[in-house]
Amino acid sequence: MTLAAFIKEMPKVELHVHLEGSIRPETLLVLAQRHRIPLPATRVEELHDWYTFTDFAHFIEIYKTISRCLRTAEDIELITREFLIEQAAQNIVYSEVTFTPFSQYHASGLPFADQLAAVNRARTWAEMELNVRMSLVIDIPREITPDEGLLVAGWAISAIGNGVVAFGLGGNEQGNPPEKFAAAFTRARLAGLPGVPHAGETMGPASIWGALKTLHAVRVGHGVRCLEDPALVETLRHRRIPLEICPTSNVCLKVVPSLEAHPLPRLLAENLVVTLNSDDPPMFNTTLTDEFLRCGQCFGLDVAAIELLALNAVNSSLLPEADRKNLEDHFKTDFARLRSKHHLTETA
């Protein structure tokens, strides 16, 4: 129990978590009723059953339904506040949160500026009241057109210095390779926004190569299938490209058959830069804390491995260098305090 207590109390950073995918079923029901939007379920318990995914297409269907329920700036501010309250409860002191404003724009015409202002109101509130910080990764849903991707790039560029730190790409990889959005990512990169696309989740190494070569990814969302290509593993290791690993998500979406079969230990053994993340927490019945607890138990991770994963997230973040260094120092000091408190050594 001492390692579990250490994990629960330690400071954390999360780099791969979707704002819309963090909506609690209770809140989704409230929003759907508020806007008279029918759901496949009318009770919270039934919504939990609906969240039991059958495949990736089912996941995208659920995600689109959620987006249709976000129709006003107030809705966006509500879900952002609730998300940040949950992050604070886990001692997640900083999050880089993927946000997909095109989905809400397409569903209800809600302007990007209004969505951003709502997120930033909640972000400012959380810094003052909860002492947690967040930044945004504005992402393209893969199913849209390249021209629509350029529109999203323009939105993201307009918000540099106003909460947005990176440009992302999410959704179904099948039939939507990274190359489809080369122009959007080039525009964002030239404006100063680094690329952090999803790749190598439901598709194999070619998707990750595309993210690296065409989108100039500085970090890869998921990337678990890199192990199918030794040359790709060597490139990721040599260039120290962080991977945002989401184990429970991979199990739920049938990327891997079980947690025991997850390649996390192999990724660590290959000396890749690995971070742990929750992806869409309520939808996968997980949290970042749960990811550490489950992986720690399943793979026999010791305190040193847990600390490494946590520090990888700090050092893979897009915070300014001075902020990143200060956060790293804070984490190391807190780790030492917690090891002493729970009578743990760095290797046990």
Residues near 68 by Cβ (< 8 Å), separated by ≥ 6?
A: 37, 107, 108
What are the percentages of helix, strand and coil residues in the chain, rounded to 5?
A: 55, 15, 30
Residue 108 in tokens: 């209800």
Q: Which of 14, 20, 201, 291 is catalytic?
A: 201
Residue 121 in tokens: 């109101």
Tell me if residue 321 is catalytic.
Answer: no
Residue 288 burial (10 A CB sphere; 0-12, 13-18, 19+): buried
First to last CA, the chain: 13
Question: CA–CA separation, 218 vs 309, rounded Å?
Answer: 18
Helix boundaries (H) for 69-204: 73-89, 101-108, 112-129, 146-158, 182-190
Block residue for tokens 């990143």:
324
- Starting from the edge strand earliest in sequence, which strands make up the sheet with 220-222, in order? 198-199, 220-222, 243-245, 274-276
Helix (H/G/I), strand (E/B), else coil: 274:
strand
Q: How far is CA 20 from CA 6, 17, 70, 134, in A?
A: 29, 9, 9, 15
φ/ψ of 235, rounded to 5, equals: -65, -45
CA contacts within 13 A on the Cβ side of 336 = 5
Residue 24 burial (10 A CB sphere; 0-12, 13-18, 19+): middle
Helix (H/G/I), strand (E/B), else coil: 277:
coil
By annotation, the residues acting in catalysis are: 201
